[in-house]
Structure formats: C-alpha cells, structure tokens
C-alpha cells in the first residue's frame, strides 16, 4: 500500500508539473496580451508600451517562463497582472464558495440519486420505475442555467423567500446570509447532477441484477433483496464510484455557469475572467489548484474502490476502469 501511495504521489507531482508547462506554452501560443485589459479606447502608443512593461509581456518568453517556474515552485502564484493583488489568497477566498457549493450539491445529489437509481432499476417494470426513468431523462436534458433561472423565478421573484444571487459582503462571517445565498445554487447543481447520477446508478444496478452471481444466489434460495445486499451493492458500486469521482471533479470548474447565473464569486468565474484578460498568474493558479483537486479526487476514488473490491488489491498497479 505504501509503495502504491508513493507511486501515486510521484505521479501526482509529475502531472501537475506537466500540466503547468503545457499550459504555459499553450497560453503563450495564443494571440493576445494581458496588457490589453489595462487599456482604454484612446490609449497612446507609449501607454500601450507602459502597460506591456507593467504586466511583463515585453520580456523575452524564456525570461517569462523562468519567472513563472520560480513562482510555481515557491507556491506563491505571484500577483495578478491586472489587479495587482496576490493570487493565492484570492483563490482561497473563491474556494471558500466553490468548495461548499459543489460538495453540498454533490452530497445532496448522492442522497437523492442512490435510492432513486436503485428503485428505478429494481422496479423497472412498475409505473413508478418508468416514471423515475422518464424524470431522470428530462433532468439530464435541461440546460443547467435554465434550471437556475426557473428556481430564481419561483423562489426569488415570485415567493421572495431567497436571494436571487450575490454573496454577502462580509462573506462567511455573515453565516446565515451566506447559507441563504448558496441554497438555490446548490439546488440547481443537485437537481441536474442527481438526474445523471440516478441514470448511472440505475444502469449499474440493472447490470448487477442481470448478472450470474445474483441469479446463482437466487437459485440457492436467497431473496432478491438479500442477494442484492450480499453481492450486488459492492459490484454495482465499483463503477459508480469512478463515475462519481468524474462528476465531482467536473463540477469543480463546471460550476461556473451556475456561479454566473447566481452572481457568485467562485473559482470558475475567476478563471473565466482571467482567461479573457490573459491574466496568466491567475489562470495558472486556478488550474494548478483544480488539477490538484482532480488528482486528489482520483486518488480517493482509487482508495475507495480498493476498499470495496478486494480483488483490485491483488494487482496494485492494475489499470483503473
């Protein structure tokens, strides 16, 4: 296990490094200049030159690269080229919104989707099984921002019970306000996510229900539920955990659409703005942090799968499925 951990960690750092270097190259290959974000219509040629000097885009590429590597390894990420503030605290402040948002939505979706998905598969032929299936079909077909807009229409504009967007200016110090602001965004993500999770769980359960060991177990006299409990849950859970990991990781940055609908200052919105302004230190900081998150999630998925399916432990280096 220790050997496996070390391998994973080495790989973790190697991939972060690789991801950062390729990003640096990719971003610089794109046309565009962070200095542009500082200009206004009417800027003179010398003002353009001054802006380039300020953001450092007039330096030779190699020098920019070295400067950035030094920052990367000191984990400081530097300062934003546009606003001049330090990137690391900025990212921390954004994460204090995005992490609770995605984690709560994810847990909520999980709590809803596991029983629903199971019932939808186990009672596939009943009317409610079909209804669950149809509702989850609908749930994954609706664009996420539209769900957000509908929730705002209902709960904020008609019922006037929840804020339509924004985050308290005191942040989490105003706990009640912060929780209220996050309620609808969490619900939006959870609705869409639970629809797709329900489908995954339903399909995984269907697979297990049709498999040989359940049939054998049934032939040996176990009830369906008993057979399912003994053999099914674990077998169904292994692929589902992998999907869950992917869903969670995707939502981390993918929450940007919901953040935009609800005007939340999250990580995704920081990234979107930074890319449009070519604010390299910010882009690199956000991508670094989110790559870390993805790798850590992947790592946890591995551990959970190994714990659930002891067969995987036999070959520690077995490829993940």
Minimum Å gap between C-beta 155 and another protein is 10
Please say which residue, 217 or 277, places its beta carbon nearer to another protein: 277
**Considering beta carbons, is residue 100 or 239 the nearer one to another protein?**
239
The CB-of-58 to another protein minimum distance in angstroms stands at 12
Residue 177, burial from CB neighbour count under 10 angstroms (0-12, 13-18, 19+)? middle
For another protein, give the closer residue by CB, 185 or 190: 185
- Distance from first CA to last CA of the chain, Å, rounded? 19
Q: Which is nearer to another protein, 70 or 153 (CB)?
A: 153
Distance of closest approach, residue 164 Cβ to another protein, in angstroms: 4
- Distance, in Å, from the CA atom of 230 to the CA atom of 171, rounded to the nearest integer, reads 47
CB of 66 to another protein, least distance (A): 23
Tell me how far, at minimum, the Cβ of 153 lies from another protein, in Å.
Answer: 7
Is the CB of 34 or the CB of 66 nearer to another protein?
Answer: 34
C-alpha–C-alpha distance, residues 265 and 206, integer Å:
41
């Amino acid at each position: 296990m220790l050997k496996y951990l070390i391998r994973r960690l080495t790989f973790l750092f190697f991939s972060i490094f690789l991801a950062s270097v390729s990003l640096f190259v990719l971003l610089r290959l794109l046309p565009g200049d962070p200095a542009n974000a500082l200009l206004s219509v009417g800027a003179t040629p010398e003002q353009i030159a001054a802006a380039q000097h300020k953001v450092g885009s007039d330096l030779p590429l190699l020098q920019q690269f070295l400067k950035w590597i030094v920052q990367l390894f000191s984990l400081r990420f530097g300062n934003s080229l546009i606003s001049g503030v330090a990137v690391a605290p900025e990212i921390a402040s954004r994460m204090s919104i995005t992490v609770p948002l995605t984690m709560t939505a994810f847990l909520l979706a999980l709590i809803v989707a596991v029983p629903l998905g199971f019932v939808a598969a186990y009672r596939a032929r009943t009317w409610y099984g079909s209804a669950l299936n149809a509702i989850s079909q609908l749930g994954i077909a609706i664009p996420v921002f539209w769900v957000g807009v509908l929730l705002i229409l209902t709960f904020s504009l008609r019922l006037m019970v929840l804020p339509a967007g924004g985050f308290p200016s005191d942040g989490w110090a105003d706990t009640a306000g912060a929780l209220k602001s996050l309620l609808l965004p969490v619900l939006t993500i959870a609705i869409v996510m639970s629809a797709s999770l329900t489908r995954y769980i339903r399909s995984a359960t269907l697979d297990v229900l049709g498999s040989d060991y359940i049939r054998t177990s049934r032939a040996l006299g176990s009830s369906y539920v008993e057979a399912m409990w003994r053999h099914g849950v674990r077998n169904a859970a292994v692929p589902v955990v992998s999907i869950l990991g992917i869903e969670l990781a995707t939502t981390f940055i993918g929450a940007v659409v919901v953040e935009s609908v609800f005007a939340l200052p999250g990580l995704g919105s920081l990234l979107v703005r930074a890319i449009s302004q070519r604010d390299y230190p910010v882009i690199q900081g956000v991508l670094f942090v989110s790559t870390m998150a993805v790798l850590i999630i992947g790592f946890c998925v591995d551990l959970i799968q190994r714990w659930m399916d002891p067969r995987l432990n036999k070959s520690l280096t077995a490829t993940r499925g």
